[in-house]
Amino acid sequence: MLDEALAHEDTGGTGTDVLRAARSACPYLLRLGDWERMVDVVSQVLARDLTRPTALALLPFVEEALAYAGDADRDARVTRTRARVLLRVDPAAGELRLTELFDDAVRRGDHERAANLASDLRARHRNVGRLAEALVWAERAMEHIARTDRGPWTRLGIEAAHAQLLALTERFDEALERSRVLLDRSGPLPRHPDASEGLEPWTVEEMLLDVGRLAARGLGRLREALDFNNRIAACESRRGAPVLERTHTLFNTGELLLSLGELDEAAEVFRQCRKEYERQLFAPGLAWTFTAFARVEHRRGHGSTALGLARDALRYSYRADLAADIVVAHRDMGMLLRAHQDEPRAATAHLLAAELIEAAGAPPDDERPPESTGAADQGDPGRDEGGDRSGGADGTKGHGGCLALGTVDEVADTVGRVPGVDLRRVLSAITGTEPSSLDTLLARVRATARPC
């Protein structure tokens, strides 16, 4: 049943079929004592469903598998999988467990396991917006994979993940150069990997092309970014990629068309993407498309429509629970409120919420400017055609409403008027502390936010 669902998904079926089949398969595989296949099934689910209820449903199966796993290699796989499930149930406990497992692997000299666990922790820190820490874990993964007998594609994939973080931390020149160097290095490698590889060549190639896309877009080289994206689409076509993956790439095309001012073409692309994301019940993609439609309507001068779409984007970004998407949704909401509605307090609260999430994920000495360039690339509602900006992210220029937003609780209460928005939960997941203890962080954000 699971194999049929996976095949159906590859031809355009829904990801919910995979989730339903996987949940049914776990008890059956446990009865057979097939722990290895059950771990594979859980991994399939984790790749498609980021929600806590699904993780809670899977955890008992993984716990039982751990009790009967047997040999050391199998035990290591189940233990790692349990920690990854735990990340969705209790993020702090899951992160701690992954760190403990990494330290144990290092002590044992098991460099392959250490590299895998470092990659898990890199993904964890990236997803909650702690990009500086994610870079550290990416470097550890590179260090340990280099000490294994894994093949060149696997090592290249670990380096590609590091290069991707360079782009996400706005080190665009460095990221673009790394993508070109690594793509050149991949050229002569065999396209049919042997048993020494843990990654497929196409996975690595597409990741490197995506680094190039991100970096070129960040540098304002939109046509070059579109070329990188078209190369990704060609790779996906050659390998018969699942519909959901092709939809992600199509969405990136739409974003670039929007940045190039081709509004009608971009809107049509986004309509196609939303249709597929709805069919797949893919919450992050729905957040992306609502954000994109809001930007299109803003550029067309339809402020009320843009604001309604931006609220939907916020709801879906919180449902998907990815910090970077939540930051974008709050920032767009704040900019749109400033551009189209006289609600300075609400606009300031959303802008501050975005800055708080970013600042919470950065170390105290992080000198990275608080404002991401991503929104501006795609038609930032706070920027007119001349590039002028009309006030600070903390509202100190042009608006006095921010003066009443003196605590994180006040910011959270204000943005929480949008259904589904829970800023306290997001900040607690990043910092491990209660939001009320983060008022000093708010003061720092207010002091350092530059005019937008």
pLDDT of residue 73: 56
363 pLDDT tier (thresholds 50, 70, 90): low
268 pLDDT higher than 70: yes
Which of 55-64, 318-327, 328-337, 391-400 shows the lowest per-residue confidence on average (mean pLDDT)? 391-400
What residues does 392 pair with on adjacent strands? 451
Residue 77 tokens, joined: 């796989």
Residue 249: closest CA among 292, 190, 206: 206
Alpha helices by DSSP H, listed for 149-302, are: 152-168, 172-186, 201-218, 222-239, 243-259, 263-280, 283-299
- As a whole number of angstroms, the distance between CA 280 and CA 295 comes to 23
Question: Distance of CA 341 to CAs 126, 156, 308, 336, Å?
Answer: 33, 49, 12, 8
Question: 266 vs 364, which has greater pLDDT?
Answer: 266
Predicted confidence (pLDDT) per residue in 17-43, tens digit: 556 666 677 777 767 767 677 777 777
| The token pair that represents 325 in the structure block | 């998407």
| C-alpha to C-alpha distance for 324 and 37, rounded to whole angstroms | 33
Residue with the bigger pLDDT between 399 and 159: it is 159
Tokens of 74: 């199998």
Q: What pLDDT score does 215 carry?
A: 97
Please report the pLDDT score of residue 119 as a whole number. Answer: 94
Question: Are 205 and 256 within 8 A, CB to CB?
Answer: no
Contact 162, 138 (CB under 8 A): yes
- pLDDT bucket at 364, cuts 50 / 70 / 90: very low
**46 contacts 94 by C-beta, under 8 angstroms:** no
Angle at 164 between CA 442 and CA 381, to 5 degrees: 50
Residues facing 451 on adjacent strands? 392
Q: Do 415 and 349 contact (CB within 8 A), yes or no?
A: yes
- Cβ neighbour number for residue 149 with a 10 Å cutoff: 8
d(C-alpha 349, C-alpha 411), whole Å:
5
% helix, strand, coil for the chain, step of 5: 75, 0, 25
CA distance 116 to 83: 12
Tokens in use for 133?
């820490």
Give the mean model confidence (pLDDT) for residues 213-239.
96
Of 195, 251, 256, the residue nearest 221 (C-alpha): 256
Contact 19, 48 (CB under 8 A): yes
pLDDT range class, residue 399, cuts 50, 70, 90: very low
Exposure of 255 by Cβ count < 10 A (0-12 exposed, 13-18 middle, 19+ buried)? buried
3-class SS of residue 193 = coil
**pLDDT at residue 182 greater than cutoff 60:** yes
Q: Tell which residue, 139, 82, 79, has the closest CA to residue 104.
A: 79
User: Tell me, what's the pLDDT at 436?
Assistant: 66
The mean pLDDT of the chain is 82
Over residues 303-324, mean pLDDT:
93
DSSP conformation class of 401: G
